[in-house]
């Protein structure tokens, strides 16, 4: 089948829209995932083990902050390159992509976009290389979809800020060296701060017993009278615009990443359908199996076109928050449906670690909720259509 020649379905020849550099980047990340992630990921997931050595390897291969300028250690690449990198990593595992996209979009991006030149030079090269791992503190135990209700706060003590509060469901937190944290000042305005490991009163308890993203480390951020130096405040942003700008970048990466999961599930199902014999022929010969595979490929193709067009708009500085919401919601939902259909094609084998399907399916249950839930993204689109926000 001609569309399989690139190692992934490309039914509409979307590769023709990519540059030579895009294709080289895709191949290098694909080779990295096949070597460093795929042989180990089922065991890591079974053991709920986060392989901390992967952080430096991600840095070496350029997966952290690909769009950050090279002078700060980033890749200086465009947004389609970033999307392709996220797609290939998530084809390996959503938890691994979470590690990379949090570092690039939620830690490096705000320091680059909202930070001082001193902050950029101090933190970005170490984060880009994987010497340091970062995390992003926005969600709280009582404030998820409504981040503006946050209670984490800072008080101006003259020569430093005093930070109190807690954040929940924070990817990378148990292993982080730095955290970009959002808190309200005395005037109730949201500000961003860089909190460093070792600051007194700062702890990162791990969250255990997850059925999803088991190879990713997830935890809390707890601030008990943490003294944060004044120079650690992000000077160039105030209000929800700051964290939401970061989330735009991360959600964009997820829209591409989810395609990687869908591709992995589809390819596994197609291969299994051609090899599994029932009633004296491969199950791929049956109409209902062909229907599933044809619909999978159709949905993947639509998602690829959506992501490519969004990447083009992002490169031109035209992509809106609402367009990114639509792509994140659609593509994750698409991947989840494909994972479920692929599980059925695999029959009983689909629930085992012999195949990636069940792991992907469980991971996607987190991806469909984090960085804007399925429903919230629908309401963002609805508010854009009608001009009436339904979530207030």
Q: What is the pLDDT of residues 356-380, one digit of tens each?
A: 999 999 999 999 999 999 999 999 9
- What does DSSP say about strands 281-282 and 134-137: parallel, antiparallel, or unpaired? unpaired
pTM for the full predicted model: 0.96
- Enumerate the active-site residues: 371
Task: Report pLDDT for 37.
Answer: 98
Helix, strand or coil, per DSSP, at residue 189: coil
Bridge partners, residue 184, by sequence? 153, 190
179: pLDDT strictly greater than 60: yes
CATH 2.60.40.1190: does it fit domain 135-238? no
- The listed CATH number (2.60.40.1180, 1.10.540.10, 1.20.1250.20, 3.40.50.150) that belongs to domain 14-133: 1.10.540.10
CATH class assigned to 241-386: mainly alpha
Give the pLDDT confidence of 208-256 residue by residue, as tens digits: 999 999 999 999 999 999 999 999 999 999 999 999 999 999 999 999 9
φ/ψ of residue 312, rounded to 5: -65, -45
CA distance 141 to 166: 7
Give the CA count within 13 Å in the CB-facing half-sphere of 141: 8
392: pLDDT strictly greater than 90: no
Whole-angstrom CA distances from 200 to 162, 195, 196, 224 are 11, 10, 10, 8
Task: Report pLDDT for 7.
Answer: 67
Cα 389–Cα 253–Cα 62 angle in degrees, nearest 5:
150
Give the pLDDT confidence of 32-57 residue by residue, as tens digits: 999 999 999 999 999 999 999 999 99
CA distance 182 to 179: 10
Angle between helices 94-101 and 53-61 (to 10 degrees): 70
Residue 96 confidence class, pLDDT cut points 50, 70, 90: very high
Domain boundaries, the chain: 14-133, 135-238, 241-386
Query: Does 14-133 match 241-386 in CATH topology?
Result: no
């Amino acid at each position: 089948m001609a569309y399989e020649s690139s190692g992934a379905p490309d039914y509409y020849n979307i590769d023709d829209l990519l540059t030579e550099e895009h294709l080289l980047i895709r191949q290098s990340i694909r080779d990295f995932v096949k070597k460093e992630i795929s042989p180990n990921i089922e065991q890591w997931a079974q053991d709920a083990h986060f392989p901390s050595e992967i952080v430096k390897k991600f840095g070496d291969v350029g997966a952290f902050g690909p769009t950050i300028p090279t002078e700060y250690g980033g890749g200086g690449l465009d947004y389609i390159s970033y999307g392709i990198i996220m797609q290939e990593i998530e084809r390996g595992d959503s938890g691994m992509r979470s590690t990379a996209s949090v570092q690039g979009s939620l830690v490096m991006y705000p320091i680059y976009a909202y930070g001082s030149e001193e902050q950029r030079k101090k933190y970005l090269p170490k984060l880009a290389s994987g010497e340091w791992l970062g995390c992003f503190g926005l969600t709280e135990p009582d404030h998820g979809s409504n981040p503006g209700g946050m209670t984490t706060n800072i008080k101006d003590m003259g020569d430093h800020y005093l930070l109190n509060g807690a954040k929940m469901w924070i990817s990378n937190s148990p292993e982080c060296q730095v955290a970009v944290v959002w808190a309200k000042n005395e005037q109730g305005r949201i500000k961003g701060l860089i909190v460093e490991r070792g600051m007194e009163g700062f702890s990162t308890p791990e969250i255990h017993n997850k059925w999803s993203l088991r190879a990713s480390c997830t935890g809390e951020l707890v601030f008990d009278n943490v003294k944060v130096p004044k120079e650690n405040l992000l000077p160039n942003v105030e209000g929800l615009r700051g964290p939401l700008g970061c989330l735009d970048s991360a959600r964009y990466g997820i829209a591409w990443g989810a395609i990687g999961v869908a591709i992995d599930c589809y390819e596994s199902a197609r291969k299994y359908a051609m090899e599994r014999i029932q009633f004296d022929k491969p199950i791929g010969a049956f109409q209902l199996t062909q229907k599933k595979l044809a619909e999978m490929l159709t949905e993947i193709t639509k998602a690829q076109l959506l992501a490519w067009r969004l990447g083009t708009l992002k490169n031109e500085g035209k992509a809106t928050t609402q367009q990114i919401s639509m792509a994140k919601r659609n593509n994750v939902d698409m991947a989840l449906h494909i994972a479920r259909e692929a599980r059925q094609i695999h029959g009983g084998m689909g629930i085992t670690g012999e195949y990636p399907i069940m792991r992907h399916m469980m991971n996607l249950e987190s991806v469909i909720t984090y960085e804007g839930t399925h429903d919230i993204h629908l309401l963002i689109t609805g508010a854009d259509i009608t001009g009436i926000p339904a979530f207030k």
